Amino acid sequence: MKKALLVLDILRIAAVGIAFFFGYQIGFSGETYDPLSQIHFMVPILIPAVAGTSGLEGLLFSRQSAEGKGFETGSNYQKQSAFAMLSLTAAAFLVYFAQWGLFAELTVLFVFCLFFLLSGINHAMDAVKNRNYRWQNINRPFITLLMLMGLVYPVIQAL
């Protein structure tokens, strides 16, 4: 099971890296910056990479995932959170494949970012309050901030 969680972590990080690398390449490939193409490329990769793998992790490896983060196991909220993650992933795919446009993509992206911002705050508070310094717990605030910082420029330019 630990190997499966490691594979999901590697897949998540690699897919996020691909989304940002190629997303920025697409955005800056023309004579003028194209944030719409960048966002259109990044949303259906970034959201499933983070939310989709987190949702699968929460459903398929709930006990091991919770233990790795230093959280309680067997909570129904963990399953509920996994369903929320998978719902975000489904919405990102629906918006992309139905071609609902920039504002629909940004709406799903904003919900995704807000969830992970609040989740990062929750993990940081847990680290401080409960001295939970496990890697899987303390990396969330920092990784979330990096991800959000990488999204600020294309989103502002798109609007």
Domain map (residue ranges) of the chain:
2-158
* Residue-level pLDDT at 66: 58
Q: How far apart are CA 39 and CA 37, in angstroms?
A: 6
Residue 9 has pLDDT above 70, yes or no: yes
Q: How confident is the model at residue 19 (pLDDT cuts 50, 70, 90)?
A: very high
87-132 pLDDT per residue, tens: 999 999 999 999 999 999 999 999 999 998 998 898 888 889 988 7
Contact 154/39 with Cβ under 8 angstroms?
Answer: yes
Q: How far apart are CA 140 and CA 135, in angstroms?
A: 9
The pTM of this model reads 0.86
The tokens for 69 are 């983060």
Residue type, position 48, single letter: P
* Residue-level pLDDT at 71: 65
Q: What share of the chain is helix, strand, coil (3-state, %, to 5)?
A: 85, 0, 15
DSSP 70: T
Q: How far apart are CA 78 and CA 59, in angstroms?
A: 8
Q: How confident is the model at residue 69 (pLDDT cuts 50, 70, 90)?
A: low
Residue type, position 59, single letter: L
- Whole-number average pLDDT of the chain: 89
